[in-house]
Every structure is written in C-alpha cells, then in structure tokens.
Structure 1
C-alpha cells in the first residue's frame, strides 16, 4: 500500500466518481480503476461498491478511509516541514482559531507577520474550540488558538496567551444598564441570548447558572456572535460574551457591559500545537512573533 492509493481512497469518498478522481490526481481513468482493484487484492477485502452510478466505500473501505485521512495529513505535513528548511523565509503555515481570537486578535498578528515575511503563505480557519483541537490532533493545522477553559489533551501542548474575560452585555437602554454592579438574582427571567451548544461560552454560561441557582430565560439561541450583539442592541435581551468582542460597540455607545456577578469561572486564550509534530523554525518564529507586542 502506498500514499497514491491512500490519496485515492480519500478522493473516492469525496467525489464518488472514478473519472473525477482521475482528473483530480492527474491520472487516466483505467489507471485509477487498476489501483482500486489492486488495493482490494492486496488487502483481500472488498473496499468499493457501485450503486446508482456512484462508487461508494464499503464498511472496510470506510475503516481504511479513516486512517487514510490521518496518513495523508501526516505526509503533507512532513513535506511542508522539510521544505521550510530549503530557504529561510519560505513555507506554509496553517492556523486554526476559535471565533474570538480568530476574529479580534489574529488578523492583526497575521498582517504584521505577513509584512515581515512576505514569502510565507498563511492560512486561517475559524471554527469552535473542540473542532480546532480535533484538527490539531489530526495534523490538519500547525497551530491552534482557542478561547476555552484550561485543558489537558495529549498529545496537544497548550500555553496561555491571555485571559479572555466574559462580561454581561446589554443595550444602554436596558433596565440593567443603570446598575454598576449586578447580582445573580437580577438576571432571573430576563430574556437571555444563548450561544450554540458547542460554544465554550455557552458551556461557561450554563455552569454559571447552575452554580448561582439561576434559571436563565434562554428565549433565543444563536450560533453567531455578531448576531447576538445585534439583537442585544435592540434593547430587550442580555448575553454573556467576550469583552474583546464588544470593545468597539461599547466605545460607540451601542452596548454596555458589566462584570458577570459572582462568576468564579475563568476562560483564557491558548495557543496549542501537536507535540508529535516536528517543530519547525517557521512555527517557532510565528509563536515568537505572536507573543511580541504589536
């Protein structure tokens, strides 16, 4: 079994057409068909089945697909890391981030790094913190930056970048805006904008509610932080969000924030990488740059 066949497995699952796989790999269709049959003979099990004009993976094929993704990602990573030593200042860096650091912190860092090293290709993907951790484990990104609670997840190594303070936000016209200090019972029954269930902010919000015995009136659930801010500006609802995410709206007088009352939970921005990955000069250089004041 070679890398070509493993790449073919991944592409068959993606396209489900031999012709499309052949085009993506720059091969002729008979060549792809030959490799498919050869791989089945090599492993002694059926990996593919034709159904309604499509080529699908069998259960055995799907098991192989699971490992193909990991092996292909490792092979691509190995090639990138080795090429980074070819000439100083060249290379590719794939970064993943959760919403707050990906939207309010990394753009400035990436911009300054690109100016300092214009021949380095940078890419950024913004997903939830659990997805970023999974991408790191699967070697699909080089570095992750996440807002979350402290975590231990071998083989990932995480280091604190800064605290990500959660605050209560509301419209300047909201009845809570006139109180410089709030108490948990004042939030009882107030229309509350909930983040999506997979969000670390949602998880901390619910932990806070349980610890303070407050029943939140979660009348609306939104998976967009920008949407939560826009709805809060209308004056009826409140929410917990990162202070970093509302600095501009607060400066413009569109929102106000207050400390979350009796909140023992801390959240931080971490940067993390996979310890199984060979640490390159490029990755080390980006981490050093990221930690410098801009």
Structure 2
C-alpha cells in the first residue's frame, strides 16, 4: 500500500472530515478523496460511511486503522534511524504547542534553533496542550511543548522546563481590587472567567479552590489565556492566569493560603526513536528555562 494513501486514511479517521484532513495534509479536498478511493479500491472494501456531513469508519476501517498507524510510525522511525547514522541535524520536526507557550516561551528557543540548524524544517502546530499530548501518543507529532498533565500518561515521557506560577487577577476597577484585605470566600461573590474545563490549567485551578471549599461562579470559560486576560481587563470577572501575564491592565490579588502553579514542559513518546532534530531542541530547552528565570 502507498504510504500517502495510508496517511490520508489516518488523517480522515482522526479528524472525521475530508476538509480538515486536506488542511492538515496541505492538499485539496478532492486530492484526499482520490487517495481514499484508491485505497478502498486496493483492498476492495469501503473504509468510510458518509452519513450526511459525518464521516464514520466502517468495520474494515476500524480494523485497518491501528495497522496503518503502525506502518506510518515504523517508516518515520526508520527515517530517524537513517538520519542518526548520517550524523546530520536535518529533516522535519513536528511540534505541537499551546498558543500561550508559543507566544511567551518558545520564540527565543525556536529562533536559536533555526539559526543553529537551518536544514531542519519546523512543522509547528498550535493546539490545546491536551490535544498535543494525544497527537504525540498517536504518532502525529514528535514533540509537544505544553502544560504538563497532572497525572502521568502511559508511554508519554514528560520533562518539566518552566515552572509557571498562577495568580488570581482582576481589573484595577473591579470591586475586589479596592479591598485591602481579601478572604478567599469573597471571590465566590463575584463571577469568574476561567480556562476551559477540559484544560489541565482549569483542573489545577479547580483543585486548588476546592481545597479551600470554594466553588467559583463561572460566567465564561475559554482555552485562550490571552482572551481571558482581555475579559478580565474590561471587568467581566476575576480569573486565574499565569503571573507572567500580569501588567498594568490587571491587578494581582494576594489571597492568604492560596498558591497555584502549573508546569510547562516537553512531552514525547517513550517508544519512538527521537530524531536528531528533536534531540537538538531538547538540549536547548534547559538553557531557555535558566534564561527565563534569570
């Protein structure tokens, strides 16, 4: 079977959409459809059912999917092994990262990397940390630079890089900003805008607040921290954001007994052979962390 056909099949299966698969593969939708049709012709059985706008795997598709993933992963591992023998840092390095890390942590790292290793093509994808971890596990990405999971995930190697303290913040004009002494229970009297409940950051915040018996009244939730910062700045509610985002548009509230922190770092699949490009980037990250904390 042609690996290009298998790659199209896996992408459609993962996204549930020919359009989304085409975007991910940098192809036209008709090109993806032709690859799926060619694969179906080779094995003489349909792989997908088209039900309205839904694209669903058939029994044959579900049976083929794990083997297709393994074939693609083995080929990628073979390419990495050959690259190791050549002793050159080159090729393609696929990375998934969150918008916040991509904006606030990665630019100096990637700038240094690009200067040192111009033969490497960086394939950078912005996504939620949770999605990036799943993509690394599924073999779609080699590295994820993310908010690390709270609980270890099997086959996922997680390396801490940046401690990221979190703080309760409000607009300077918010009623809570005028209080000289603030008790945690007073937060519950005002609406909050928080990270989306599906995110690791939300779980950290919820866990910390529940330890103090506080259930916040959530007015709005989103997984974009920059959006939360804007919403807090216009007075829509209080939030919990990385302390590094604090500026004159926000007021950090000191609340006795409440301490929150998340860890940012890099994840990779334990059973996959890392490319020389991945190893080179991993070597740069500790220095980036030291520079950030200096």
1:240 maps to 240
1:167 maps to 167
Alpha-carbon deviations, 1:40-71, whole Å to 9, x = none? 4xxxxx4447879x997522223313442443
Inter-CA distance 173–85: structure 2 relative to 1 (3 Å threshold)? farther
Contact 1:164 1:267 in 2 (8 A): yes
Query: Among residues 29, 38, 43, which one is paired with 1:39 in the alignment?
Result: 43
Q: Which moved more, 1:272-281 or 1:2-11?
A: 2-11
1:112 maps to 112
What are the residue-to-residue correspondences of 1:120-269 with 2, within 5 Å? 120-179=120-179, 182-244=182-244, 246-247=245-246, 250=247, 253-259=248-254, 261-263=256-258, 265-269=260-264
SS of 1:290's partner is: helix
Whole-angstrom distance in 2 between the partners of 1:4 and 1:141:
17
Inter-CA distance 186–4: structure 2 relative to 1 (3 Å threshold)? closer
Alpha-carbon deviations, 1:203-222, whole Å to 9, x = none? 12222232111231212223
Deviation at 1:227, TM superposition (A): 1.8
Inter-CA distance 15–204: structure 2 relative to 1 (3 Å threshold)? closer
Query: Among residues 262, 272, 275, which one is paired with 2:267 in the alignment?
Result: 272
SS of 1:284's partner is: helix
What are the residue-to-residue correspondences of 1:52-67 with 2, within 5 Å? 57-67=57-67
Inter-CA distance 234–9: structure 2 relative to 1 (3 Å threshold)? closer
- TM-score, length basis structure 2: 0.79
Whole-angstrom distance in 2 between the partners of 1:73 and 1:99:
27
Whole-angstrom distance in 2 between the partners of 1:165 and 1:287:
23
Contact 2:18 2:33 in 1 (8 A): no
Deviation at 1:199, TM superposition (A): 1.4
Gaps of 5+ in 1: 41-45
Deviation at 1:151, TM superposition (A): 3.2
Whole-angstrom distance in 2 between the partners of 1:66 and 1:120:
29
Deviation at 1:120, TM superposition (A): 1.3
SS of 2:103's partner is: helix
Deviation at 1:234, TM superposition (A): 1.2
1:291 maps to 286
Contact 1:201 1:240 in 2 (8 A): no
Gaps of 5+ in 2: 20-28
Larger Rg: 1
Alpha-carbon deviations, 1:235-289, whole Å to 9, x = none? 2411001123x14xx0xx1112234543355421121211211133322211111
Whole-angstrom distance in 2 between the partners of 1:285 and 1:49:
40
- TM-score, length basis structure 1: 0.79
2:103 maps to 103
Whole-angstrom distance in 1 between the partners of 2:170 and 2:56:
51
Structure 1 runs of 4+ with >6 Å offset: 49-52
Whole-angstrom distance in 2 between the partners of 1:268 and 1:205:
13
Alpha-carbon deviations, 1:18-56, whole Å to 9, x = none? 97358659xxx8xx3xx645524xxxxx4447879x997
Contact 2:83 2:89 in 1 (8 A): no
Whole-angstrom distance in 2 between the partners of 1:11 and 1:288:
31
Instruction: Let me know the Cα RMSD of the aligned residues.
Output: 3.4
